[in-house]
A = this chain, B = another copy of it.
C-alpha cells in the first residue's frame, strides 16, 4: 500500500528520514563523548524511542508524569522535565524513582518540600536536578548561587538525592549556558559533591553542543522529525522533515484558492513568526493562509501549477511537537511505501 491510499487527514512519518535524523544527531554526541537523551514528548511513540535507544541514547526525557508512566515499562532511565507539586503525581512518580528509573527537576523550595514529603520513609531516594534559568526566561533558579542553595536543600531533604543541574537553553546562548552551569557546578562541589548530571538541550542549538563542554548530556526532541520552523532557522532542510500531514484538496472554490481537509485538528495553529500554517513541498509557492477546525485554506496565486480537487498533498507543519498533542497515531512509511500505523502512548 502506498501512502497515497491512506485516508486523510493523516500524519505520516518517513522512517528512512527518522533513522537518518537519529543517526546524524547521535553520531555528533558520540564524537563529543557526551550523552544524548531524546525527549520523547515530540513523538510519544515507544517504537521510535526504541530506535533512539538502539542508536546509542543514554535514556529518555519527557514532560509529564503520564509520559513517564507510559514509557516506564520499556525504558529504565527517564528524566521528567517538569516540576511535580501535587501529592498524587508524586505518589505516581515514587515507584519509578524507587525502581531507579526516574530523575525529576526542581527550581524552588516548595517543589523540593513536596517531593520530600511524597518520598517519606523510602529507602531509595528520588534523584532531583536543579533547573537553572540560563537565559530562556522561563523556569529555573536565577543564579549559580541560587542553584547551589537549592542543591543543598535537596541534599538535606529526606527521601531526595541531589543529581545535578538541568537547563532549557535559549537558542544562541551557549556561552551563557556554559558560564552558568560551570559556575553552579563549582559552587555545588564542596557542599553537595559533584554534579553527576549536567543536562542542557534544544533541537535548534544541537549542532553547537561543543560550546558547552561542562555538560554531561544533551536533550532534544523535534530533531527526530524536524519541521518548517527548524528549516527556517537553518537547522535542517526540507528534505530532512520526516513528519508530514497528508491531506486531500476537497474544493477549489476559485482559481487562486484550494481547501484542504486538514485544519487545526491536525496541523496545529502555531505560527511563531512564520507566514502561514505549514509548507506544501509539491507547491512551494502556496501559502496556507488560514485554518478551520477541519479545513485548511490555501492561497495559490503565486503557483505556476495548481492542485486539482481530489489531489493528495503532504504538508510540513510549522512545529512538529504540537501535532503529537492532537493525534492518536502516525502512519510509518519509507519513501511513500506504507509500513504500518504506530499508536502514540501517554496521550493526555
Stretch of A118-126, A180-188, A191-199, A318-326 contacting B (4+ beta carbons < 8 Å):
A318-326
Q: Which of B85, B259, B309 contacts A250 (CB 8 A)?
A: B85
Q: Which of B83, B293, B348 contacts A251 (CB 8 A)?
A: B83
Is B83 within 8 A of A253, CB to CB?
no
Nearest chain B CB to A43's CB is how many angstroms away?
12
Q: How far is B88's CA from A191's CA once the two chains are assembled, in angstroms?
A: 66
Q: Which of B63, B85, B309 contacts A293 (CB 8 A)?
A: B63
Most chain B beta-carbon contacts within 10 A, residue among A137, A253, A292, A326: A253
- Contacts A110-B309, A293-B322, A322-B293 known; A250 to B89 CB distance under 8 Å? no
Nearest chain B CB to A306's CB is how many angstroms away?
14
Chain A interface residue count, CB cutoff 8 Å, equals 55
Residues of chain B within 8 A of A111, CB atoms compared: 250-251, 309
Stretch of A45-53, A93-101, A231-239, A260-268 contacting B (4+ beta carbons < 8 Å):
A260-268
Give the B-binding residues of A (Cβ under 8 A): 7-8, 41, 63-64, 82-83, 85-86, 88-89, 107-108, 110-111, 114, 133, 137-142, 248, 250-254, 257, 259, 261, 264-266, 268-271, 290, 292-295, 297, 309-310, 321-322, 325-328, 347-348
11 sampled A-B residue pairs with Cβ under 8 A: A7-B86, A83-B250, A83-B261, A85-B248, A85-B261, A85-B310, A108-B252, A108-B253, A110-B309, A137-B257, A293-B321
Known: A138-B290, A265-B322. 16 other contacts (CB 8 A): A7-B88, A8-B86, A63-B292, A63-B293, A64-B294, A83-B250, A83-B261, A85-B310, A108-B251, A110-B310, A114-B310, A264-B270, A265-B348, A325-B326, A326-B348, A328-B347
